[in-house]
């Protein structure tokens, strides 16, 4: 688990890790994921009650895509607000930890146990409880998802 190089020299984050957040809101990022994070990276509100952690290069790509959304479209404005208003520039301390701001802890319902998930070009942070609910058999059907992905050409 960790990361693998992808076309263009980028990194793909993979794997699932269970860690605990300390009383100060600090979370140790697994070394397999940490070794390919830039000196600074961006943490923001994600979808499905998780947090998205983007390396700086991937954040810039994502940011450019958001900038192209039409200002006149209500849903586009809401989508841009979700990601930019909640964004925080982060660095890793000498112990391999990041500090998660309170507003992001509240958004993600992260309290103590955190699931750290490698998801391609980003990392997701989930409360363990939310991750377990998301993965519950009555919540997710991999067969249905596979069918829908086939319709998208995957």
- Whether 144 is covered by a domain: the verdict is no
Give the C-alpha separation, 50 to 37, whole Å: 19
Phi and psi angles of residue 3, each rounded to the nearest 5 degrees, phi first: -150, 155
Model confidence over 13-42: pLDDT tens digits? 999 999 999 988 899 999 999 888 878 899
Please give the residue range of the domain that contains residue 24.
2-128
Model confidence over 66-100: pLDDT tens digits? 999 999 999 999 999 989 998 999 999 999 999 99
- Whether 143 is covered by a domain: the verdict is no
- Whether 153 is covered by a domain: the verdict is no
Give the C-alpha separation, 108 to 60, whole Å: 23
In this prediction, residue 135 has a pLDDT band, given cuts at 50, 70 and 90, of: confident
Lowest mean pLDDT among 28-37, 45-54, 97-106: 28-37
Classify 51 in phi/psi space as left (phi over 0), alpha (psi -120 to 50) or beta. Answer: beta
- Whether 154 is covered by a domain: the verdict is no
Give the C-alpha separation, 131 to 39, whole Å: 28
Q: What is the pTM of this model?
A: 0.85
Task: Give residues with Cβ within 8 angstroms of 22, minimum separation 6.
Answer: 97
In the chain, the number of structural domains is 1
Domain with residue 21: its CATH number is 3.40.1550.20
CB 41 within 8 A of CB 11: no
Residue of 27, 32, 34 whose CA lies nearest to 55? 34
């Amino acid at each position: 688990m960790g990361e693998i190089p992808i076309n263009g020299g980028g990194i793909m984050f993979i794997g699932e890790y269970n860690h605990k957040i300390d009383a100060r809101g600090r979370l140790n990022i697994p070394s397999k994921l940490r070794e390919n994070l830039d000196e600074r990276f961006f943490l923001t509100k994600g979808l499905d009650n998780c947090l998205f952690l983007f390396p700086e290069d991937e954040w810039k790509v994502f940011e450019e895509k958001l900038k192209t959304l039409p200002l006149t479209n209500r849903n586009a404005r809401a989508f841009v607000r979700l990601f930019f208003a909640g964004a925080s520039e982060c660095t890793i301390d000498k112990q391999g930890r990041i500090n998660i701001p309170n507003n992001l802890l509240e958004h993600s319902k992260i309290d103590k146990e955190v699931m750290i998930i490698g998801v391609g070009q980003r990392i997701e942070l989930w409360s363990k409880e939310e991750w377990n609910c998301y993965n519950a058999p009555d919540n997710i059907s991999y067969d249905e998802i596979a069918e829908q992905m086939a319709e998208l050409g995957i």
